[in-house]
Structures are given as structure tokens and as C-alpha cells.
Chain A
Amino acid sequence: MRPNAALLDHLRNPRQLGAFEPGEAGVSTGEARGVRCPDLVRVHVRVDGSGALDVRFQAFGCSACIASASAFLEAVTHGNPATIEEIAATFELEEERLECAGLVEQAWRRATHTPR
């Protein structure tokens, strides 16, 4: 795969990377693993007393997996959610990378208890 500049930017400077302190109040975590490969994305969502939302992610995976997690959560944070299809188009991902790219969305849905 030949990564484009947008993907490389997210891969090298991931947004919303990290986790919250163990046992911190108001944190919900969701996880997703690849079926065809062992990619793993964990999304942590924290809601504080005022209802403000903070999201973080951790990931083990290929460039498409990591960069898509970063882009997806950046969009969520800015109140401007993007679909995986939109992100994949921005990154010019090949069809077979959609599974890796989509893990963040699954993990996000699990963390926020949002059915598809």
C-alpha cells in the first residue's frame, strides 16, 4: 500500500491517543479486533459532571488501522462525525483495508453502547 499524505499525518501524529487513569470515574471502554488479522483497537470515552466528552484510543495494527482510529476520533471530538467510508476515501484506502480501518468505529460503538 502506498500511504497518502493525509494518512501519514495521522499515523505519525495520532490525535486522541492514550487512555485514562485506571479506575477513573465516568469512563467507558470498547474494544474491537480484526477477523482476518490480529489488529486491535481500544476506545476509551469519558464523560465528566458537566457532560463534556473526552475520547482516547490505543491500537495495535497496520497504518490504515492506526490512522483511521485517529481520524475517526478527531472528527468525533470536533463534533463533526465522519463515516469510515469517508475516512477511507480521504486516505485513498484499498478495499481490503476497510476492515482494519473500521475497527475504531466498532470499538467506539461498544464504548458508547451505540448500536449500528
Chain B
Amino acid sequence: VKRSIYLDNHATTPVDPAVFAAMKPALTCAFGNAASRTHAFGWQAHDAVEAARAEVAALIGASAREIVFTSGATEANNLALIGAFEAARSRRDHVVTLATEHSSVLDCLPEIQRRGGRVTVLGVGPDGLADLDAVAAALTDRTVLLSVMAAHNEFGVLQPLEALGSLCRDRGVHFHTDAAQAAGKIPLRVAELPVDLVSLSAHKMYGPKGAGALWVRHRPRRVRLHPTSFGGGQEQGLRSGTVDVAGAVGFGAAAAICQAVGARESERLAGLRDKLLVGLTLRVPGLVVHGSLAARLPNNLHVSVPGVEGEALLMSVGELALSSGSACSSASREPSRALLALGVDPALARSSLRFGLGRFTTEADIDRAVEVVAEHAARLRAMNPAWAP
């Protein structure tokens, strides 16, 4: 059996061995409940969670008390959208977002409508970037929140957070960004950005699955949120439920590593990604790149190989772990709605391949990926009766 080359780091990343080492005590001897106030087990867990909170906050230049631990970015996005809407609904009941957002944002919209709110979903340009004029026109004095992800989970496009946030500031609208893919890969300093709510995910940055956070701006004015879960009142009443101590500790350790090595790592990955792009362009005639190349995550490449079904290519190759926007490769049997929102032809969406490079990707992995994708693309094109180069 050939070794598998993992290039699906937008789906999830492997847990960094140093993160796993940091988590082990919380899963074994230091098992206390962080909310237990009457013994050392609880105090120890509390201290571990608070140290982790400070590490996560430091990654985005925030204050620790502004971090609300959640089960991941999906829960953080739900809390940001539903929570901000519920807290403001008597004055502001309108939410604006983009058609290319993650399902954990888009699928909040019917729920907001069900609760009596109004929503606007804006299109994007072929480069995947938000249209600032359209956003400005959509924001009204009834808008509570604009939600735009920092970096796209499929095509890696980086949105102009500064410009989008400024539009919100001018109109008293909260600006939420889902930074699950961006955090740890590009600099995000909330003190310097006009953002109010930021969603984070541990498992996209070499931490464990099941851990995430919502950063909630406290200064100069605290963003009001209504909780979406109820119970013990943990996490400042915004996220009831016993805190996953090991998850938080792993998230903190992962954030600290990203803060220490993120810039160098991103530079290395951008070099490998560019090598991948050049290699594929030379070896696969007709390759199409989706989304802006200039405003893009350093570790992302999303392409289509016309004339080839993405799922057939991935199954055929075997040794590469990638994903495709093809309907045949998704659980829902629908092509990627983000690619379609980009204006990509459904047939081309069918031929898409998403490469997500990561901390453990090597140059040899990239060379091999180019080799096998080119070989199998040529083989599958040769059997396509409708393929005319």
C-alpha cells in the first residue's frame, strides 16, 4: 500500500504532537471540572482553561475574557448570528451575509426568518470577493449584523475585513467574521480590525476536533448576545455546559504554536502552493483556478480539471487525500453551492479539486501530487468521448 498524502487540511488538520502532549494531563490525572470551586481538582482545571483562554486570545490580539469557548466554529457562528439577532431584534432585525458563506452561517438564516427576522444574501464577483458597494447598499438602520468569512473554506479567498468592517462601523452594524480557516495562517489582530465577533476552530489549526471559540468584543462597547444554549451559565452565560478542559487546553496549545511559527509556516506553504500551481498548470492543460490568486490563503489551491469528474479522479488516484466540489463526492449529492455562487459552471464545479496544504506537507508530497494528478487526469480525459483539448 502506498503512503497516503494528506492535502485536505481545510477539512481538518492532524493534531500537532505538542498539542497532544499538552492535552494528556487533562484527559488523565488533571480531570477536574473547571466549575468545581471546592477542591484542587477544580482549581487546577479552571487554571488550565484560563491559561488556554489567554493563549487563544493572544493569537488574535484579544483580551482573554472576550473568548467564549464553544464546541467549534459551527457553534460559534450559530451563537454570533442567532445570539446577536435575538439580543437586538426589537431595534434591529436584519442580517446580511454572502452566498459563499459556510453552511453554519447560511443555515442560520431560515431560523432567523422563522423567528421574524429578515435576511439579505449577497452575491460575490468571479474572484470570490465581496462587492463593497452591494454590501453598503444592503446595510440599513435595521441591520444588526454583517457576517463574512475571513478566508473561504473551499477556495481560500480572503475578504477585505477592514473595508467591510468600516462600512459596518459607519452604520452601527456588528461585523462578524468566521475565521476558522484564517486564524493561525494570516495575521488577525482584532484591536486593529473593525470586527466585533470572530469565530475560531481548533481542529483547523492542529488542535483537537470539538473545540472552538467565539471572540466577543468588549471594548469600547460590549457586543450584546443572547445565549443559544441554557443551563449552568458557563462561559459568561453564553455557552452553558461543562467546559471541555482537554479541548480548551489543546486549542490553547495549538494557538500558541501558530502564534510562534505561523508566519514562517505560511511563507513555506505559499511557496509549496505556488509550486503546485505551476506544476499542475504545466502538466494539466486547460487547468482552471477558482477565486482570486492574489487575495488567498497561503495553503489553498482550488482548481478544476475540465473533462474529468473530480470524484473519479480522486478515487482513481487513491494515494492523495483531497476533496472535490463535485456532487458525486458530497454527502448531499449537490455540487458545491459556493462554487456555483462564484459563477462557476456546474460542469466545471464537477471537475473541481481542493488542495489544502498543511504543517506536515513536504515538497516531495507536492511533487508526487502533481505527478499523479497529471497522470490520472490524462488517463481519464483519454476515455472521455466528449473531451476535445
Q: Say whether A and B bind each other.
A: yes
Task: Choose among A17, A42, A66 the residue that contacts B312 (Cβ–Cβ < 8 A).
Answer: A66
What distance in Å separates the Cβ of A15 from its nearest Cβ neighbour in chain B? 12
Asked whether A96 and B312 contact (CB < 8 A) given A8-B318, A40-B385, A59-B384, the answer is no
The total number of A-B Cβ pairs within 8 Å is: 63
B294 interface contact, C-beta 8 A: no
Tell whether, in the assembled complex, residue B328 and residue A14 are in contact, meaning their CB atoms are under 8 Å apart. no
| CB closest chain-B residue, reference A42 | B385
Q: How far apart sit A63 and B317, CA to CA, in the bound complex (Å)?
A: 11
Tell whether, in the assembled complex, residue B328 and residue A60 are in contact, meaning their CB atoms are under 8 Å apart. no
Asked whether A11 and B315 contact (CB < 8 A) given A38-B350, A60-B307, A62-B328, the answer is yes
What distance in Å separates the Cβ of A34 from its nearest Cβ neighbour in chain B? 10
Tell whether, in the assembled complex, residue B383 and residue A14 are in contact, meaning their CB atoms are under 8 Å apart. yes
Tell whether, in the assembled complex, residue A66 and residue B328 are in contact, meaning their CB atoms are under 8 Å apart. no
For B333, the chain A residues whose CB sits under 8 A away are: 96
Asked whether A37 and B327 contact (CB < 8 A) given A58-B384, A60-B386, A66-B312, the answer is yes
| CB closest chain-B residue, reference A69 | B383
Q: How far apart sit A100 and B327, CA to CA, in the bound complex (Å)?
A: 12
Q: How far apart sit A37 and B312, CA to CA, in the bound complex (Å)?
A: 14
Asked whether A63 and B311 contact (CB < 8 A) given A11-B316, A12-B316, A37-B328, the answer is yes
Tell whether, in the assembled complex, residue B386 and residue A40 are in contact, meaning their CB atoms are under 8 Å apart. yes
Tell whether, in the assembled complex, residue A63 and residue B315 are in contact, meaning their CB atoms are under 8 Å apart. yes
A81 interface contact, C-beta 8 A: no
For B307, the chain A residues whose CB sits under 8 A away are: 60
Residues of A within 8 A of B (CB): 1, 3, 7-8, 11-12, 14, 17, 19, 31, 37-40, 42, 58-66, 96, 100
Q: Give 21 pairs: A residue, B residue, CB < 8 Å, sorted on A.
A: A1-B311, A1-B328, A1-B329, A11-B312, A37-B327, A38-B346, A40-B385, A58-B384, A59-B384, A60-B307, A60-B309, A60-B383, A60-B385, A62-B312, A62-B326, A63-B311, A63-B312, A64-B328, A65-B309, A96-B333, A100-B328
